[in-house]
Structure formats: C-alpha cells, structure tokens
Copies of this chain bind each other. A is one copy, B any other.
Amino acid sequence: MSTETLAAPTFATLAPPKRLLFGPGPTQVHPRVYEVLSKQIVGHLDPYFFEVLKEVQTLLRMVFGTENKFTIAISGTGTSGMETAVSNFVEPGTKVALFAAGYFADRIGEMAKRQGGNVVRLEKPWGEVANDADATEFIRREKPDVVAYVQAETSTGAFQQGKAICAVAHEVGAVVIADCVTSLGAMPVNVDETGIDIAYSCSQKGLSCPPGLAPITLSPRAVERLKARKTTNGSFYLDLKLLEEYYEGRKYHHTASATMWYGLREALVLIAEEGLQDRLERHRRAHVNVVKGFEQMGLRMHVAPEHRIWNLLTPRVPEGVNDGNVKTRLLKEHGIEIMGGFGQLAGKVFRIGVMGPLATDDNVQMFLRCFREALQAEGYKG
C-alpha cells in the first residue's frame, strides 16, 4: 500500500471551544502559562534547561512544604506520578498498608499488586476518612513496609490528615506514600511537617498548568530506601535511580519537554508572586462561598465539614435529578465542565473543582448561578 493513498483531507484551523473548567481537572490555565508554552524549546541537555529545572525545584519545594533535595517532575501525567511512587517502593513481596476510601486509593492498590506487592486495606466508605486511632491500630497490627494514603481523594472530596499515619508508619519502619494530586497548590500539603516520605502530584489541578508533568518529592528516608532496593524496577521510564542520574547528573535518560517545564515554572512563579499562604487562603474562601451557595439552593454536601477538600467539592445529586443531564447542559449552554461521581458514588454526587484562576468571588457566583439554573432545568425545585 502506498502512503499516497492515505493522503489526508484538508484539516481546519485548530479552534478549541471556550471552556470554564469547574471539573476535578484539568483546571483553568493562567494566560501567562499559555504564553510561555509557545516559547522556543531547548534541548533536554541544554544548560538553560537545567537552569529552569533548578528554579522549578526551588518552587516545588515551596508548594510541597519541604526541604527535600530530591524534588523533580516526572514526564507524564499525575497517574505516572502515582506509578513512579508505587513502582519504586513496592517490590514483589512488599507489604503495603493502604488507606482505602476512594477510587484513587484503589488505583494505588491496583498498581501495588501489579508490582507484586501484598496489599492490606483499611476500608472506609467513600467520602469518609480514617481517624488517628484507626490508623494507629491498623499500622501497628500490619507492620507494613510501605503505607499509602490519598491526601485529597478526588473521587470523593475527602481530605485525609496524615500526621498520625506518618508517625506510626515511621515507628514500624515503613515509608509513607501520599497522593497529593488534587491538593498541591490549593491546600496546605506540608510534606515535611506531616512526615510524608514520597509525595506526588500533577501539573493540572492546584498548579493550574496543562497536564503533562507529575511533580514528586522524596524525603531522605525515602532516598535511603530507594538506594537500598535490591530488585530492579520493572519500569525503565519511571526508575527514580535513573531519573536522579539525569536530573542531578545530567546523564541522558529521556527527552524531557522544555515546553512542559516552561509551563510548570510559570505556574509556580505565579504562586510565588501571589504568595503561597494567600493563594491557599483564596481557595479556602472560594470553598466557603461555594458551600454556602450549595446550601442556599438546598443541596447537601457528601463529606463532613471538617474533612472537605477545599478545591474539589462533592454536593449530592438531588433526588430525581439526572447528573449526566446537568453535566451535559452546563457544557452545552455555558461551556462549563463539571464531572459526576463514579464507582460507589456514580450518580450520587457531582464533582466540582474550584481552583486556580477560577477560585475568585466573581467566578464562584457565576458558577453558582449557572449550576442552579441547570439543576432547575433538569427538574430540581430547590
């Protein structure tokens, strides 16, 4: 077959529709981030690339709340960050104690099993979290090698505190993996203060960058564990030993994307300029206002007030309303993206993200107006 017979038809100029990304992610991107994405690339071994890397590392330490030297970003989406954490610290036979209360915790468990890990679970209904006593009993009983929890569970809207988990995990000699995919840049992650050993995230939620990079940071304890590992990671692409040789030693491993690193840098500089504390406070305030708006329209929140993620809200779908129809209506009429629940919460909650440039009073009020109209158009009387 000649390639000529496959000649492509004419393609229109790319013209994406305008969207207001009020879903769990990706979220709205700041114009300054868009601007740097079109800057000229440099090679993955160019001295300038390593200047950008160094700045990004400094800035990532700020948002992670850590002094960890080993702080980089994986060349993939948040899921690649999760797989990096799991594949580097779970070998065949590694015992993993998993705090299981949502889809992303389940995904960690699935990945750990694929690595040959022995996964034990502390189950909670989706939307709840483990308390300190539960956590302590679970870890002391199981004496795992690795403890894993999801700080901000995007599938449920619940935020899991980690101090007790980390303290007890260290008591039994385990390292702690925390999924910070949804919290980074929007809530206090506090890696060092909490005691997290391996924290990973993504570029496209609280950091408000397009998807494509997965920040990750390792405590000295995690680095020691990594170096002591005897079997080879099944993954070459995500092997942190090789990635350290690249990012620290400038030894070729893969072709990192200058474009993505430019975007991540700009998103982080925007956070530094705003001030991390001010930014987090802006997200907290937006959260309070969204919840107030939901309650005024008679909706009930799925998660108890003290356990809510600020930037990812899960109001319950009112009786008689089809969540899919509301979602489609918002997209068609206003270009607003939201998501529904899935797994245990399919059809039961909406998943609404209020992050980055959208976490302002005006945007919150605009969203609430459109959301209420859409609910009413789908038969809701509230």
| Residues of A near any B CB (own CB < 8 A) | 1, 3-4, 6-8, 11, 14-19, 21, 23, 25-26, 29, 34-46, 48, 52, 55, 58-59, 61-63, 65, 67, 75-80, 83, 87, 107, 110-111, 114-115, 188, 190, 192-193, 202, 204, 210-212, 232-238, 252-260, 262-263, 265-266, 268-269, 272, 275-277, 331, 337, 339, 342
Contacts and interface: CB of A to CB of B under 8 A. Distances in A.
A311 to B, nearest CB: 16
- Would you call the interface of chain A mostly helix, strand, loop, or mixed? loop
A46 B16 CA distance: 11
Contact of A26 (B41, B107, B210, B262): B41
Contacts of A277: 3-4
Given A41-B210, A76-B80, A79-B253, A236 B29 contact: no
Contact of A7 (B15, B237, B276): B276
Contacts of A107: 236
A206 to B, nearest CB: 13
A12 B277 CA distance: 21
A-B complex: 5 closest residue pairs judged by Cβ atoms: A8-B272, A79-B254, A210-B259, A211-B257, A234-B234
A211 B6 contact: no
A75 to B, nearest CB: 5
